[in-house]
């Protein structure tokens, strides 16, 4: 009898133990759900922001000085705000970027993506950081055959290609559904930039690109031309996971501060300001001389760059702006040579023969290096070079006048994007009469600096072909 009582007691205790474990497990599960980490918390704990970046001039590429690009710089600034490392997974097309976004380890995808309903179904969008329009881009030569399109109906019969899974493909499909006769093909192999190159070579008649992508690539492919806008204003945003509300809220807060501090304006100015100075003929001549004249002096520019710590592409661009790489160039004021030095400047720099390419390049580079030393220490980063170049063109005294004027009208005297607003005012009497150095043709240094950086970007985009 004791044996049976013992078995019943053991069974009862086992049942009690099972029930206790079951209740404990049930009460524990909800607590785990409550403590589920947000995407923002995960990023901070792993101390890394994993992003997919489209490898293109409008987003991210490896330049002479390392990673660069508008969206790269923006994401770099955000990762620094978070205090984490920026890890990049490059993508070569929008289709590839969207596919890589499905990787659970990816936090953000940046690929010049507009907000569309199809993308919203699978992803979350972060804050908007750029406004664009979709534009039809065609070969400039089509004007000669009267086939250059001016509206959607003119696209009938033309050879058009756009990227698969892009907003451009959605636009084409929508127009075709509305009854428009558009002969379009879709590719998952070619990026928008590669399609613009095909248009430039007239391998296809037209493609579609966002206005910012067209603006950035116009200097690389001068044979392309915007036909007409095919959409209204659209917003570019980063692509996030569906469960990223906390990360999204942090982005909105950070971007708002970034805008208020004027940093977004500086970034846009750095990458897009030269668009205002695009000249088809000058750009064509630059490409021509890049092949025929530059190779004679590339090695000298590179040696000067190593010696003085200034990028050779910038030195070559200054020289082109000054003399079009003509060693015997001479202006009506008497400046001469590749770097167009005056007699007095050449003497101070130890240049005995201004027409000697090596002496001119070394002397001009030394002069720029000296200008850099006189730029106020409050001016930092790329702004220092731009200030030095402006001083090289107009004189340091006028730059200091412009800085003073910037302070007086509430602008930041230490950033180029603000200084170039002020410089043209130096030619107006109501502004220059109270300044130490008086009148100056202030628009010239603005065009000078912007043109040099435009040439520099073209050189860096073709760097592999030049070396």
Helix, strand, coil shares of the chain, percent, nearest 5, are 55, 15, 30
Do 222 and 201 contact (CB within 8 A), yes or no? no
Inter-residue contact 105 to 228 (CB < 8 Å) = no
Both tokens of 170, joined, read: 């959605």
Question: Within 236-381, where are the H helices?
Answer: 245-260, 263-272, 280-292, 298-308, 312-323, 343-349, 357-374
C-alpha 92/C-alpha 280 separation (Å) is: 28
Is residue 246 within 8 Å of 39, Cβ to Cβ? yes
- Shortest CA distance to 135 belongs to which of 99, 167, 111, 92? 167
The two structure tokens encoding residue 397: 């005294």
Let me know: does 94 contact 163? Beta carbons within 8 Å. yes
β-pairing, 234-240 vs 108-114, is: antiparallel
CA distances from 119 to 75, 166, 168, 251, 346 (A): 21, 10, 13, 19, 60
Residue with tokens 């201004």: 354
Strand partners, 128: 237
Q: Which of 96, 134, 170, 322 is catalytic?
A: 322
Which residue, 319, 403, 308, is CA-closest to 361? 319
Torsion angle (degrees, nearest 10) of CA 235, 240, 244, 250: -50
CA distance 173 to 169: 6
Q: Which residue, 412, 144, 126, is CA-closest to 254?
A: 126
DSSP 8-state class, residue 219: T
Six token digits for residue 227: 């036909």
322 classed as catalytic: yes
Of 129, 412, 70, 457, the closest CA to residue 274 belongs to 457
Q: Which stretch of DSSP H or E encloses residue 187?
A: strand 184-187
Q: Which residues are catalytic?
A: 322
């Amino acid at each position: 009898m004791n044996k049976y009582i013992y078995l019943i007691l053991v069974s009862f205790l086992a049942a009690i133990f099972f029930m206790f474990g079951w209740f404990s497990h049930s009460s524990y599960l909800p607590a785990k759900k409550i403590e589920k980490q947000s995407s923002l918390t995960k990023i901070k704990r792993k101390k890394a922001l994993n992003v997919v970046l489209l490898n293109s001039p409008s987003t991210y590429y490896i330049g002479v000085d390392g990673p660069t690009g508008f969206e790269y710089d923006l994401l770099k600034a955000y990762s620094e705000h978070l205090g984490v490392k920026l890890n990049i997974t490059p993508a070569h097309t929008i289709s590839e970027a969207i596919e890589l976004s499905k990787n659970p380890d990816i936090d953000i995808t940046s690929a010049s993506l507009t907000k569309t309903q199809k993308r919203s179904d699978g992803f979350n969008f972060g804050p908007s950081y750029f406004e664009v329009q979709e534009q039809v881009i065609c070969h400039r030569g089509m004007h000669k055959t009267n086939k250059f399109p001016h509206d959607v109906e003119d696209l009938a019969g033309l050879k058009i290609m756009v990227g698969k899974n892009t907003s451009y493909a959605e636009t084409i499909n929508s127009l075709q559904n509305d009854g428009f006769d558009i002969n379009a093909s879709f590719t998952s192999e070619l990026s928008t930039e590669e399609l613009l190159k095909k248009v430039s070579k007239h391998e296809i008649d037209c493609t579609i690109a966002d206005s910012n992508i067209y603006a950035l690539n116009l200097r690389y492919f001068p044979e392309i031309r915007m036909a007409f806008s095919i959409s209204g204003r659209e917003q570019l945003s980063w692509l996030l996971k569906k469960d990223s509300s906390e990360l999204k809220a942090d982005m909105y807060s950070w971007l708002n501060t970034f805008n208020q501090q004027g940093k977004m304006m500086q970034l846009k100015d750095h990458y897009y300001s030269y668009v205002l100075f695009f000249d088809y003929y000058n750009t064509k001549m630059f490409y021509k001389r890049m092949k025929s004249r530059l190779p004679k002096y590339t090695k000298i520019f590179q040696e000067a760059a190593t010696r003085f710590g200034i990028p050779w592409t910038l030195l070559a661009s200054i020289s082109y702006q000054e003399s079009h790489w003509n060693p015997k160039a001479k202006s009506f004021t008497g400046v001469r040579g590749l770097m167009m030095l005056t007699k007095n400047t050449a003497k101070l720099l130890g240049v005995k023969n201004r027409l000697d390419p090596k002496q001119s390049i070394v002397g001009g580079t030394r002069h720029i290096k000296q200008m850099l030393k006189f730029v106020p220490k409050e001016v930092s980063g790329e702004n220092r070079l731009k200030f030095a170049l402006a001083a090289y063109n107009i004189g340091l005294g006028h730059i200091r006048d412009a800085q003073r004027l910037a302070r007086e009208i509430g602008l930041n005297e230490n950033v180029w994007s603000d200084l170039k607003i002020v410089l043209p005012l130096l030619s107006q009497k109501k502004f220059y009469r109270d300044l130490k150095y008086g009148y100056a043709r202030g628009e010239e240094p603005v065009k000078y600096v912007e043109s040099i950086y435009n040439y520099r970007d073209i050189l860096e985009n073709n760097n592999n072909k030049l070396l």
